[in-house]
Amino acid sequence: MEFELLGQEGEARRGRVTTAHGSFETPAFIPVATQGTVKAMTRAELCDIGIEIILSNAYHLYLRPGPELVRAAGGLHRFMAWSRPILTDSGGYQVFSLEGLRKVTEEGVTFRSHLDGSEHLLTPEHAIEVQQMLGADIIMCFDQPVAYPSDRAVTEVATERSDRWAERCRAAHQDNEGQALFGIIQGGFDLGLRAESARRITTLDFDGYALGGLSVGEPRPVTYEIIDHLLPLMPAHCPRYLMGVGTPAELVEAVARGMDMFDCVLPTRLGRNGCVFISTGRLNMKNAQYQEDFGPLDPACGCEVCRHHSRAYLRHLYKAGEILAARLATYHNLYYYLGLMTEMRAQIAAGRFEEFRRQFHARQEVLE
């Protein structure tokens, strides 16, 4: 994997990551394909929108259909018919979410499947092996995030263990040239522990570095403070991946703070639930006010949905429980997110990102 830095304005930067399945431009938004499909979307639609990389979940694919089956299919790219880059997360976050169904030891995490209750042990080595079998272009270390808030002692134990697991992941992935491995900086919400984790993780010579364990309920100023504090500790020549973020405004702020990659379920999940992102904020399409609104979702948007369909039609589809509602909103939301990233890259290239950032937030105030 290669990372080229193509431009910078303040901390905001523009770059290109090249993987075994082609390249993607950064700052990059990575739609989430939890179970081997970006929910409600086809591969052709993702390509139409200009999506260059997607994220799938090793935890989910490990449980169903199983990594052996995906490998037998020729790997995840072939299984889901996606020829562009794929990133898989390790399952650390999903296992962390199984409150009460898991037990953490130095060896790994014992957990019960959310599907059938079966018991599994996931170790750092096994998490890497599963991701190798899936065959994504970028894979992630197996880690242990902490909740917000957590006390310092709990955070310290989890962080130091995560960092030891990162070493084990690194060791388990020595010979795999086609797959990049990213380290994940933990440390909860303690700036000192975050800095210690950053120092340990960045000595391990990963292909990229992620900030993990954020966007788990903490206030936004806390997230931004951690990013600002960690940025000087993250190597400039590697992509910086802020996991699980975020809203359009959060993406703008994280790009301004030097982050390059982002994944989030918001555009797809909120789309299925009736919420669409537009240039001035977001709309809940189920609201009665749109019942006879025959205008487009976003008058400023040029996507297929906005060119052909009205708010009234979309509202009708939601009220009627039609699959097309989820489809149209997901398509529009991803189009909006991709357009936002494209615009940020262009503004950085033109040296006008700071001005864009101000205007973006000013626009958002109308509705948010």
Active-site positions?
89, 263
Binding status of residue 59 toward a second copy by CB under 8 A: no
Binding status of residue 110 toward a second copy by CB under 8 A: no
CA atoms within 13 A on the CB side of 28: 25
Binding status of residue 135 toward a second copy by CB under 8 A: no
Site for a second copy in 61-100 (CB under 8 A): 64-65, 69, 72-74, 79-81
Distances (CA, A) of 305 to 105, 283, 339: 49, 15, 14
For residue 103, the SS3 value is: strand
State how far the Cα of 77 lies from the Cα of 164, in Å rounded to an integer: 30
| Beta carbon nearer to a second copy, 70 or 141 | 70
| Beta carbon nearer to a second copy, 4 or 322 | 322
Q: Which amino acid is at 220?
A: R
| Beta carbon nearer to a second copy, 65 or 339 | 65
State how far the Cα of 128 lies from the Cα of 141, in Å rounded to an integer: 7
Among the listed residues 128, 193, 326, 344, the single contact to a second copy using CB under 8 A: 326
Tokens representing 202 are 């960045």
Binding status of residue 310 toward a second copy by CB under 8 A: yes
State how far the Cα of 263 lies from the Cα of 88, in Å rounded to an integer: 11
Stretch that binds a second copy, among 122-130, 133-141, 147-155, 304-312 (CB under 8 A): 304-312
Closest by CA to 33, choosing from 71, 73, 96, 87, is: 87
Binding status of residue 6 toward a second copy by CB under 8 A: no
Residue 202-221 contact track with a second copy, rule CB under 8 A, x = bound: --------------------
State how far the Cα of 33 lies from the Cα of 80, in Å rounded to an integer: 10
Q: Which residues bind a second copy (CB under 8 A)?
A: 35-37, 39-44, 60, 64-65, 69, 72-74, 79-81, 291-292, 294, 304, 308-310, 312-313, 316-317, 319-320, 322-324, 326-328
